[in-house]
């Protein structure tokens, strides 16, 4: 039996440089920001979707955020070449979630259909609002749909790549 190819998911993004020794700020997409450092190895992905492994030489967690020092990056000029690249990890590194819980990365790209069968578009990103998470769906219009399982979110079907919602087109 052939082993399945790894599935990579985005867990963050490389930000601006910090200091004169090649350190970089990291924007984490993980629920607990610093937990991004628990998942390694990292792969950096550029605008053309080219992926390359990168080694973290050192890291710091500060009040202002997460900083990393990548092996071989010694100057701000070298660091700037990595700014804006996405950080991906192998999906198998993440813990398995209980039924009816999903990683945001699992929901991005899914087609959203309302209970009347109308296609609202695809999930382009999610955001936290404090009271609940929100799906941002782009179709003919852009919709901000509260992620409320059971009331607004009726069904998530990862195999069909669909989310069924109780949401009307206005």
Q: Is the pTM of this model over 0.75?
A: no
User: Of 92, 112, 135, which residue sits at a domain end?
Assistant: 92
What's the CATH code of the domain at 46? 2.40.30.60
What's the CATH code of the domain at 120? 2.30.30.240
Q: How many domains does the chain have?
A: 2
Establish if 124 belongs to a structural domain.
Answer: yes
- Taking only the tens of pLDDT, the chain with its 170 residues reads 455 677 888 899 999 999 999 999 999 988 778 999 999 999 999 988 899 999 999 999 998 899 999 999 999 999 999 999 999 999 889 888 888 888 888 898 899 999 999 999 999 888 888 888 899 999 999 999 999 999 999 999 999 999 999 998 77
- Residue 44 and residue 15 in one domain: yes
Q: What is the 3-state secondary structure (H, E, C) of the chain?
A: CCCCCCCEEEEEEEEEEECCCCEEEEEECCCCHHHHHHCCCEEEECCCCCEEEECEEEEEEECCEEEEEECCCCCHHHHHCCCCCEEEEEHHHCCCCCCCCCCHHHHCCCEEEECCCCEEEEEEEEEECCCCEEEEEECCCEEEEECCECCCEEEEECCCCEEEECCCCC
């Amino acid at each position: 039996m052939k082993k399945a190819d790894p599935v990579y998911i985005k867990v963050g993004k490389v930000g601006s440089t910090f200091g004169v020794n090649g350190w970089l700020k990291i924007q984490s997409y993980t629920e607990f920001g610093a937990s991004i450092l628990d998942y390694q190895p990292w792969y950096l992905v550029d605008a053309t979707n080219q992926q390359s492994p990168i080694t973290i030489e050192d890291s710091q967690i500060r009040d202002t955020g997460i900083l990393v020092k990548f092996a071989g990056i010694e100057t701000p000029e070298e660091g700037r070449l990595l700014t804006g690249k996405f950080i991906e990890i192998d999906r198998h590194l993440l813990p398995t979630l209980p039924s009816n819980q999903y990683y945001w990365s699992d929901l991005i790209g899914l087609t959203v259909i309302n209970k009347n069968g109308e296609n609202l578009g695809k999930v382009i990103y999610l955001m936290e609002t404090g009271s609940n998470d929100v799906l941002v769906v782009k179709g003919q219009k852009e919709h901000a749909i509260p992620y409320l399982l059971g009331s607004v979110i009726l069904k998530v079907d990862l195999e069909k790549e669909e989310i069924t919602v109780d949401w009307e087109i206005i």
